[in-house]
Structure 1
Amino acid sequence: MSAMHGVKPSERLLDNSGGADWSGYGRTYGEQHYSPLDQVNAGNVERLGLAWSLDLPAGNTVTQPIAVDGVIYFAMGYSFVHAVDAVTGKLLWSYDPEVYKTAGPKQHAGWGSRGIAWWNGKVYTVTHDGFVIALDAKTGKPLWKVPTLDKDDSSYVTGAPRIFDGKLIIGNSGDYGAVRGHATAIDAETGKTLWRFWVVPGDPAKGFENEAMAMAAKTWSGEWWKFGGGGTPWNAFTYDPETDTVFIGTGNGYPYNHRVRSQGKGDNLFLASVVAVDAKTGKYKWHYQANPGETWDFTFTQDMPLADLIIDGKPRKVLMAAPKNGFYYIIDRITGKLISAEPFVDVNWASKIDLSTGRPVENPEARYANPAVVRPTSLGGHNWQPMSYNPKTGLVYLPANELSARLSDDGSGAGWLPPTDVTVGGGPGFAADFKVKDGGPRNYTSSLIAWDPVRQKLMWRVQAPRMVPAGVVSTGGGLVFQGGIDARFSAYSAVDGKRLWSFDTQAPSVAPPITFSVKGRQYVTVLTGFGTSSSSGGAMLQRYRLDYRTMARRVLTFALDGKAVLPPKVEPDWSKPADPDYRPNPALASQGAAIYAQHCTLCHGFGAVAAGMAPDLRRSFIPLSEETFLAVVRDGILQPNNMPKFDNISAKDLAAVRQYIRAQAHNPESDKETEDFGQAM
């Protein structure tokens, strides 16, 4: 029994709960990202106004809050947890786990936290280096802390934990190193590990953990375990209390290239799959694999809402998914049998999904033995930003991407070895060139689409600026809320997609919003600011003038007749410091470009063009001084500010990186917006 208002924690998370709280990542066990609240509706949303705002420190704010009993909880940056009064915006407490002291090289993959969890008077965050920390929800006092990762491997954690019937579920992340995916269940009261489900098999010589791993091993070839295999289930978990089943969405293979990872042979279970397991024991029940022999970084780690649909005149209990590969899947969640699958974006890697076998009918050229234009790309037709299923309209509201890339085998072959560091340029076994002329009419765009899952049909589309989609929430009031890279937070009609209201957030608002009520008043909350791996694409986002130092990172909360106003926007200073000692050295800069691409792009952007997650180094004084540069990059004097140290890079290579950054500062072409994420992802 919860100490808060005498309500059982599980009752808050049922799909038919009233909607006053948003106490889990998808609000409920079914992860629909839908609220039945209708006080704010299509008829009065023009009265929606800012109730309050709260300024936040620097760090990733592309994270979803939760709201329980009038308190908003969220974690930004590296699991820096805040509790805020939902009515007044007053900060009640904060907790910084000081991840930089323990994370080591894991901090090099710097996405930060996507969300947190609540259960029975406790708030839970999972740090980047895999520690689950339980906090007292009233005071923020740490209650216990337990590890879920090997401190010496290449994995880390970026996804939000879920709590299903008293069990906290968290998966590991890490598709840039030799990682073996796993999901771990922990007792939410004590921190005791209850079970672990491994996504891919390990070394056969050491024996398999269970029958599921022995079965999966038959679908692999070569010495895959030396590469880890991948499959990290970092984001997508759903729970069906009727059958006591946890559904796990799994990730891509590692390395990406099937020919390198598994000699081009076998389905490689359980990559790119949904796996159903017993919630009490973690025992395998069934699986459906969307991409047998996955070779494109086509993860199945996008949210998987549950629903009860009428299909062909019969009620069906289904799991829905819109993974990276661009098909919308309807799966019987009792049996795992595929019911239907149709493309929701432009797809050319497969012509269809064969419903008799459940397997894709692939375009052989898409496996890029020879260079081939493939769509979607590793960025996905849909990425991690959550979609929303609205049971009142029967529609799914989905942030979709349209992007093509020319893929080619990088020639690494059987001699390929995984990197020794957690980096963005980890040698995936293929090269991706995003500068393609035949990418389709909507290439490099994103959109909000309404999708009928029963008819598998597009109902409407709202084109979004550039290719940075935002998470969505839909409501019983006939509204769909979504932010954007263009600093506009909007409410759309759930019926036809008409924009009914918008607000200038002064900064990107691409985090998933939530809605809840306190004492009968409905609120809508979203965090502003930019982060995650999208920040690497600063070169294609220059029109938005995204500046780390001046970006308005805030919590914004709205209600009917809200009267608060934001302070004036602070305009960034785009000047570059004088560098009279700079001398061109194209050869050294070229060497530095490759090293920079591997270690620095994730935060500071391809081409040294940042997008707000970290400073734009072309405009920084730090690279001008060798002493200062080494103190920051090699020695880590800014680690408390979440700048990792790279003491594994040689002095020679650091000199090359410094030369490259200074060269880019003197390169006028770097100030021009491009449509390129870089040559290798």
Structure 2
Amino acid sequence: MHRCSCYVLFIIVLTACGQPTTDVDLQRLIAADREPGNWFTAGRDLQQTYHSPLTQIHPGNAGELGFAWQLETDTVNGLEATPIVIDGVLYTSGPWGVVYAVDASNGTELWRYNPEVAGKYGRRTCCDIVNRGVAVRRGKVYVGALDGRLIALDAKTGEPVWEADTVVDPERMLTITGAPYIAKDMVVIGNSGAEFNARGYFTAYDLDTGALRWRFFTVPGDPSLPFEHEELETAAKTWDPNSLWEVGGGGTVWDGMAYDAELNLLYVGTGNATPYLRKFRSPSGGDNLYLASILAINPDTGRLAWHYQTVPGENWDYAATQKMILADLEVDGRPRKVLMQAPKNGFFYVLDRETGALLSAKPFVPVNWASHVDPDTGRPVETGQGEYFDEPKLIFPSQIGGHNWQPMAFNPATGLVYIPAMEAPMIFLNLVRGEFKYNPKRMNVGGVGVFPDLDNPDKKSRFAGARVPALSGLTAGQPDPSMHGFLRAWDPVKQAVAWEIDTSGPWEGEFPAIWNGGGVLTTAGNLVIQGYATGELKVYTADTGKLLHTIVVGSSIMAAPMTYTVDGEQYIAVMAGYGGAVGLGFFPAGSAANKYGNSGRIVAFRLGGGPVPKRPPLVHDDVIPKPPEQDVARKTKGQGAFLFAINCARCHQNNGPGVIPDLRYMSAATHEAFNAIVLEGTRAERGMAAFADVLTEEQADAIHAHLIGLAQRAWKKQQAAR
């Protein structure tokens, strides 16, 4: 069942006037620049540039930008999608895979589709129940639901046309958070779940019928079994025959793809490994193809044309799933068809997209796991600083990456790529003592990165039973560990910074700084536009980075803005809502989510618009309720801390208000119902699934004891301050 609310009369009127047609085919996409008022794909065009030819808004009038309209999404989780606008109708998606169709001229909702995903699937996510967008073609809107269904909707009514279950093995912890991509007459989708037990793959379905056309696995399965396709025989030779096949291997496809119609190649970025530590995963070594790779696929056959691996033997959660941009550049005095990517590992890559040959690769953020990428072999030259199997290491960039899912943009007039860059290290830890033990119902990463405590550099701590050494003992000879976000204008030919803006906001040096700057839009009007967790939308000149205008939106922004026209008037629109890998656990003080709340919305702007409506500031009830008394052994609380770290901490960070509750603030009723919530799933409809398959009642009691201990310390500190 699903819910689809439709404003039928309005749709009929629009249709009678010739809108919306949504009759998008490949030829129309190839000629996207002839229709600059439309935004056809997540990145506007086939090249995924996040660049618009529109010039109505420019440096001379950008200061006149103001509010045009808004639509409440009725969400409190992260909003990561960039809307699509075709013939006056805006299509986008939110958490769980809910789809919105909106009149792009005034924000009137035309229809909304809810895939009604069971709340238990929230437990299968590493980084929030987000969704990164939809695809539109041939009168249909395509979306991936969190539970693994790919759904085709009628673009005019929102009614389902077909759906396909993309999950090969329902016992595996797979989800969909990425957007579908379209190549020729196929819609292609990948899955998330590498932190758990996923074996990566992506699948092509017929646009019209949903029939499966082909499936490509990104890593081999057990080589004692038949290979699903010929590329896996080659890949298997780069893995230890005794690899941890039961864990899945990772390599999931959860974000970036692009299609070159002239070359008839679909480019797909693959994800990180499972477990992270290669000495557990593939003990004798090997490149472990096709982890952290860019794959070029012939969409007619589903076969591999070429591959380029960014991190052979991936070891740090350095996925290569980030958005890719296709462009024509002059490199070394000759024109080249290139593919550009700034993945998590910190290097900016320029590849020949016809052959996969490396043209150049340089670090765009501080990097210490590798000294450089060898231009002859195309391989990174590791320094040894990234090896943390035997002892913790301070490694740059962090597990979040030098660049994550937030889209970068390319402006052909300036020749620059605008990257929402993240400068931060982590202390990487081996969490395993003895033999690696696989658990099919929880994360199986084996190692983890922990942000260093910059305020207490001599402090030692523990995480999930592992020793976290003092930062002061790890920094010798390493880059500055303070954390910053940047809007970095990158020259891909010179492989150098042209200009940059520090986007750390009020968190300069602290880890929320890296999650302040959202995705990027650039236009032929010489503009670059970016939203921020502080609740601002800023407009810069594309050539120099001069700040032209700041709009106070009052909602935290992570997604990339986009731009379109209706009746000759140019609009800019963005989805606003905080969350994701860093923003899920708490709303940092200084963020709009902390000040005004995190109710999601789509906000549009136009020249001559007024101030953006804002909600009244929240009055935070920071009083911790007096927690229950308890007489529990220290050992039990220690066990609870360990179990909390490996089962709960990825969501419950207990640092203050956020998408996920701070459990130090549990009410007496919640304390009373704790085991029912944790073991029976009495709040599963809110995303808090049952954990009875991995926790006993005794273990749930231990977690509860740990949390009561945290609450008691915080409560006593609060009482003393009074």
**Selected match of 2:697 from 636, 639, 651:** 651
2:493 aligned partner:
454
- 1:289 CA displacement: 1.0
Work out the percentage of aligned pairs sharing the same amino acid.
38
- 1:285 CA displacement: 0.7
TM-score (structure 1 length as normaliser): 0.92
Retained in 2: the 8 A contact 1:58–1:548? Answer: no
2:29 aligned partner:
13
Deviates more, 1:571-580 or 1:449-458: 571-580
Distance 2:595 2:612 in 1: 23
Retained in 2: the 8 A contact 1:273–1:290? Answer: yes
Number of matched pairs: 664
- Cα distance, 1:554–1:513 mapped onto 2, change above 3 Å: same
Letter in 2 for 1:619: Y
- Cα distance, 1:533–1:623 mapped onto 2, change above 3 Å: farther
- 1:251 CA displacement: 1.0
Alignment of 1:178 with 2:197, yes or no, is: yes
Retained in 1: the 8 A contact 2:555–2:596? Answer: no
Deviates more, 1:369-378 or 1:330-339: 369-378
Distance 2:640 2:575 in 1: 35
1:665 aligned partner:
711
Q: Tell me, what secondary structure is at the counterpart of 2:702?
A: helix
- 1:578 CA displacement: 2.7
Letter in 2 for 1:455: K
- Cα distance, 1:248–1:168 mapped onto 2, change above 3 Å: same
Deviates more, 1:254-263 or 1:362-371: 362-371
Distance 2:174 2:595 in 1: 27
Letter in 1 for 2:73: L
Within-5 A mapping of 1:519-668: 519-536=567-584, 538=586, 541-544=588-591, 546-547=593-594, 550-563=597-610, 565-576=612-623, 578-579=625-626, 581-583=628-630, 585=632, 586-605=634-653, 608-610=654-656, 612-621=658-667, 624-627=670-673, 629-648=674-693, 649-668=695-714
**Selected match of 1:56 from 70, 73, 85:** 73
Q: Tell me, what secondary structure is at the counterpart of 1:401?
A: strand
- Cα distance, 1:373–1:615 mapped onto 2, change above 3 Å: closer
- 1:420 CA displacement: 2.0
Q: Tell me, what secondary structure is at the counterpart of 2:323?
A: coil
Within-5 A mapping of 1:110-259: 110-149=128-167, 150-224=169-243, 225-259=245-279
Distance 2:237 2:44 in 1: 38
Aligned-residue CA RMSD (Å): 2.5
- Cα distance, 1:382–1:616 mapped onto 2, change above 3 Å: same
1:70 aligned partner:
88
- 1:219 CA displacement: 0.7
Retained in 2: the 8 A contact 1:548–1:612? Answer: no
Structure 1 gaps of 5+ residues are 673-681
- 1:669 CA displacement: 9.8
- 1:76 CA displacement: 1.2
Distance 1:565 1:337 in 2: 47
Distance 1:403 1:497 in 2: 23
1:42 aligned partner:
59
Distance 2:430 2:400 in 1: 18
- Cα distance, 1:286–1:118 mapped onto 2, change above 3 Å: same
2:323 aligned partner:
303
- Cα distance, 1:597–1:57 mapped onto 2, change above 3 Å: farther
- Cα distance, 1:610–1:111 mapped onto 2, change above 3 Å: farther
Within-5 A mapping of 1:317-336: 317-336=337-356
Retained in 2: the 8 A contact 1:584–1:663? Answer: no
Deviates more, 1:617-626 or 1:394-403: 617-626
Retained in 2: the 8 A contact 1:535–1:604? Answer: no
- 1:176 CA displacement: 1.6
Q: Tell me, what secondary structure is at the counterpart of 1:602?
A: coil
Distance 2:442 2:382 in 1: 32
1:440 aligned partner:
479
2:514 aligned partner:
467
- 1:109 CA displacement: 6.2
Letter in 2 for 1:379: I
- 1:583 CA displacement: 3.6
2:395 aligned partner:
374
Distance 2:417 2:580 in 1: 24
**Selected match of 2:531 from 444, 464, 483:** 483
Q: Tell me, what secondary structure is at the counterpart of 1:538?
A: coil
2:45 aligned partner:
28
Distance 2:448 2:611 in 1: 50
Alignment of 1:390 with 2:415, yes or no, is: no
Letter in 2 for 1:625: H
- 1:617 CA displacement: 2.8
> Alpha-carbon deviations, 1:482-522, whole Å to 9, x = none?
11121111111111112211122222111121111111111
Deviates more, 1:313-322 or 1:215-224: 215-224
Q: Tell me, what secondary structure is at the counterpart of 1:239?
A: strand
- 1:661 CA displacement: 3.0
- 1:547 CA displacement: 4.8
Within-5 A mapping of 1:388-427: 388-412=409-433, 415-423=435-443, 426-427=444-445
> Alpha-carbon deviations, 1:236-262, whole Å to 9, x = none?
111100011001111111111111111
- 1:431 CA displacement: 5.8
Q: Tell me, what secondary structure is at the counterpart of 1:170?
A: strand
> Alpha-carbon deviations, 1:396-432, whole Å to 9, x = none?
000111111232444556x313322144xx3434564
Retained in 2: the 8 A contact 1:410–1:429? Answer: yes
1:86 aligned partner:
104
Retained in 2: the 8 A contact 1:264–1:293? Answer: no
- 1:8 CA displacement: 3.9
> Alpha-carbon deviations, 1:81-130, whole Å to 9, x = none?
22121111112211111111684853676432121111111111111121
Distance 1:259 1:105 in 2: 28
- 1:559 CA displacement: 0.7
Distance 2:290 2:249 in 1: 10
- Cα distance, 1:671–1:108 mapped onto 2, change above 3 Å: farther
Distance 2:204 2:387 in 1: 36
Retained in 2: the 8 A contact 1:323–1:382? Answer: yes
Retained in 2: the 8 A contact 1:47–1:561? Answer: yes
Retained in 2: the 8 A contact 1:530–1:611? Answer: no
> Alpha-carbon deviations, 1:360-401, whole Å to 9, x = none?
111023222443221112111111111001111110000111
Distance 1:431 1:497 in 2: 33
1:282 aligned partner:
302
TM-score (structure 2 length as normaliser): 0.87
Retained in 2: the 8 A contact 1:11–1:17? Answer: no
Distance 1:584 1:114 in 2: 47
Q: Tell me, what secondary structure is at the counterpart of 1:625?
A: helix
Letter in 2 for 1:392: A
- 1:604 CA displacement: 2.7
> Alpha-carbon deviations, 1:292-312, whole Å to 9, x = none?
111111111111100000112
Within-5 A mapping of 1:480-519: 480-519=528-567
Q: Tell me, what secondary structure is at the counterpart of 1:367?
A: coil
2:8 aligned partner:
none
Letter in 2 for 1:582: E
Retained in 1: the 8 A contact 2:59–2:548? Answer: yes
1:678 aligned partner:
none
- Cα distance, 1:534–1:11 mapped onto 2, change above 3 Å: farther
Q: Tell me, what secondary structure is at the counterpart of 1:467?
A: helix
Q: Tell me, what secondary structure is at the counterpart of 2:583?
A: helix
- Cα distance, 1:334–1:94 mapped onto 2, change above 3 Å: same
- 1:611 CA displacement: 5.5
